[in-house]
């Protein structure tokens, strides 16, 4: 097979806009379009285009050298009409308000679409975690937590792991918040280690959820997993567990990539061997297997596959990519991986896209299970977690597909309409309640 030619592009900047600004503009446009289809109250739509609260903190950290450095931290609380704010905490040098605003709004729609009683939030610290020692990251996380309290809490705002954070950072937050509040607060974050009140199956949840909707999408094509070809951009926690799930279902995964580059094998990669290779701390550019070709990101996005799964950064699927696209469908594992213009072109061409607010919602679904366990008498096993996650993702996919068929609009439009309708209804009911109390 001749692989498509490489096309260089900057994944963080589209049409002169930083990645976060582009994602924010795209997210706001989605709201406007869904609201127009639903004929919603303009006042509610205007409110939903802005966050309820935006917080910025300056976190001083004493470095191992004795020097003091200062790091900007953000938390955006978009909407809590359906329940406490909920969303991840990421560590990245690219974090800014535009990015966090967009991601917080996406969390609102994600939770509403799944029927989870949470609102949307997102947070981040402007830092390259690779440049800090574990002790420095520990002190930074603790300081961010201290400065964010009391704006986070079990029934206020519940962070979770995100880009470059994990159960380790969540454990640090639980410990510091408990110390500051002088009481145990396991429900203040989700995605914790089991020893700190975490839920079994949380790490794999987003990937398993993506895998579930991918298999359901393939069924709509009349294809069994064993005869389906998939490519996945990104092999972090999300991409890795997606690949493991789909490989277990029998899918032929021909392409994978990470920050070092990509690999391709026409008759399917050995996912178990690749997982073992990466588990040692190595990247894909050092992986060798008979028949494997090393490719770049642009080539991976243009592979001929049944399903392309972007599971890396936002703004990866541009109109240039769509022009050369050979994938039969796309499942958005990353947040905002497709630019607005590319979304429109995909819809025009009739290429099915499972949107991010549905595809990658498995993480927040299991976060909800964890929060329930922390704040009530409900307990979850790995088996019950996997069963309920699969049921929730399947039912939501069916609901979105049915609305898409009824309206004649694409899956993304259907998903946003369902989510927006639910949030708007809750906002209207809340306003009516306030009027009645006056």
User: CA-to-CA distance for 345 and 322, rounded, in angstroms?
Assistant: 7
> What are the pLDDT digits (tens) for 365-383?
999 999 999 999 888 999 9
pLDDT of residue 19: 47
pLDDT of residue 206: 96
Does 203 participate in catalysis according to the annotation? no
User: CA-to-CA distance for 32 and 45, rounded, in angstroms?
Assistant: 7
Are 208 and 245 in contact, with CB atoms under 8 Å apart?
A: yes
Q: Which of 86, 122, 142, 192 does the annotation list as catalytic?
A: 122
pLDDT of residue 214: 98
> What are the pLDDT digits (tens) for 190-223?
999 999 999 999 999 999 999 999 999 999 989 9
Handedness of CA 196, 199, 202, 204 (dihedral sign): positive
User: CA-to-CA distance for 95 and 98, rounded, in angstroms?
Assistant: 8
pLDDT of residue 419: 98
pLDDT band at 317 (very low <50, low <70, confident <90, very high): very high
pLDDT band at 23 (very low <50, low <70, confident <90, very high): confident
The answer on pLDDT for 420 being more than 50 is: yes
Q: Which residue has the tokens 């469908």?
A: 329
User: CA-to-CA distance for 291 and 404, rounded, in angstroms?
Assistant: 41
Residue 78's nearest CA partner among 27, 43, 126, 153 is 27
Q: Which domains does the chain have, with CATH numbers?
A: 52-200 (3.40.50.10860), 205-354 (3.40.50.720)
Are 253 and 243 in contact, with CB atoms under 8 Å apart?
A: yes
User: CA-to-CA distance for 415 and 220, rounded, in angstroms?
Assistant: 17
DSSP-derived 3-state class of residue 78: strand
On average, the pLDDT of the chain sits at 93
pLDDT of residue 13: 34
User: CA-to-CA distance for 349 and 370, rounded, in angstroms?
Assistant: 40
pLDDT of residue 432: 75
Residues 6+ apart with CB under 8 A from 122: 75, 76, 78, 87, 88, 89, 90, 100, 101, 103, 104, 106, 107, 162
Residues 6+ apart with CB under 8 A from 147: 57, 58, 59, 73
pLDDT band at 21 (very low <50, low <70, confident <90, very high): confident
Number of other CB atoms surrounding residue 412 within 10 Å: 25
Beta bridge partners of 158: 86
Are 109 and 120 in contact, with CB atoms under 8 Å apart?
A: yes
**From residue 59, how far is each of 121, 169, 308 by CA, in Å?**
20, 16, 39
Q: Which residue has the tokens 């049409």?
A: 15
> What is the 3-state secondary structure of 297-326?
HHHHHCCCCCEEEECCCCCCECHHHHHCCC
Q: Which residue has the tokens 């069963």?
A: 387
User: CA-to-CA distance for 369 and 385, rounded, in angstroms?
Assistant: 8
Q: Which residue has the tokens 């994600």?
A: 110
């Amino acid at each position: 097979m001749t692989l498509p030619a490489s096309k260089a592009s900057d994944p963080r900047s589209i049409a002169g806009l930083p990645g976060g600004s582009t994602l924010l503009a795209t997210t706001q446009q989605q709201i406007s379009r869904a609201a127009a289809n639903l004929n919603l109250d303009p006042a509610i739509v205007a409110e939903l285009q802005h966050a309820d609260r935006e917080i910025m903190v300056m976190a001083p950290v004493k470095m191992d050298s004795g020097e003091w450095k200062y790091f900007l931290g953000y938390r955006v609380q978009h909407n809590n009409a359906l329940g406490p704010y909920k969303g991840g905490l990421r560590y990245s040098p690219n974090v800014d308000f535009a990015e966090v605003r967009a991601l917080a709004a996406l969390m609102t729609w994600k939770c509403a679409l799944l029927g989870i009683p949470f609102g949307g939030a997102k947070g981040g610290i402007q830092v390259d975690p690779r440049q800090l020692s574990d002790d420095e990251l520990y002190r930074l996380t603790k300081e961010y937590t201290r400065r964010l309290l009391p704006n986070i809490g079990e029934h206020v705002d519940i962070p979770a792991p995100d880009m470059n954070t994990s159960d380790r950072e969540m454990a640090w937050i639980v410990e510091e918040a408990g110390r500051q509040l002088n009481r145990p607060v396991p429900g203040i974050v989700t995605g914790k280690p089991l020893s700190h009140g975490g839920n079994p199956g949380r790490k794999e949840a987003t990937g398993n959820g993506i895998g579930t909707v991918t298999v359901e999408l393939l069924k709509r094509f009349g294809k069994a997993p064993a005869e389906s070809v998939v490519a996945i951009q990104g092999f972090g926690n999300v991409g890795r567990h997606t690949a493991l799930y789909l490989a277990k279902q029998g899918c032929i995964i021909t392409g994978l990539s990470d920050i070092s580059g990509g690999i391709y094998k026409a008759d399917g990669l050995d996912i178990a061997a690749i997982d073992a290779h990466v588990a040692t701390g190595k990247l894909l550019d050092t992986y060798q297997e008979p028949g494997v070709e090393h490719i770049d990101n642009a080539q991976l996005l243009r592979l001929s596959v049944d399903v392309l799964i972007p599971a890396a950064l936002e703004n990866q699927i541009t109109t240039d990519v769509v022009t050369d696209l050979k994938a039969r469908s796309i499942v958005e594992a990353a947040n905002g991986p497709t630019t607005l213009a590319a979304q429109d072109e995909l819809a025009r061409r009739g290429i099915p896209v499972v949107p991010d607010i549905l595809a990658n919602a498995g993480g927040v679904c299991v976060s909800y299970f964890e929060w329930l366990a922390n704040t009530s008498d409900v307990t979850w096993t790995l088996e019950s977690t996997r069963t309920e996650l699969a049921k929730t993702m399947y039912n939501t996919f069916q609901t979105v597909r049915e609305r898409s068929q009824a309206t004649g609009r694409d899956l993304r439009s259907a998903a946003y309409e369902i989510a927006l309708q639910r949030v708007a209804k809750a906002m209207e009911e809340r306003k009516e309640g306030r009027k009645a109390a006056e």
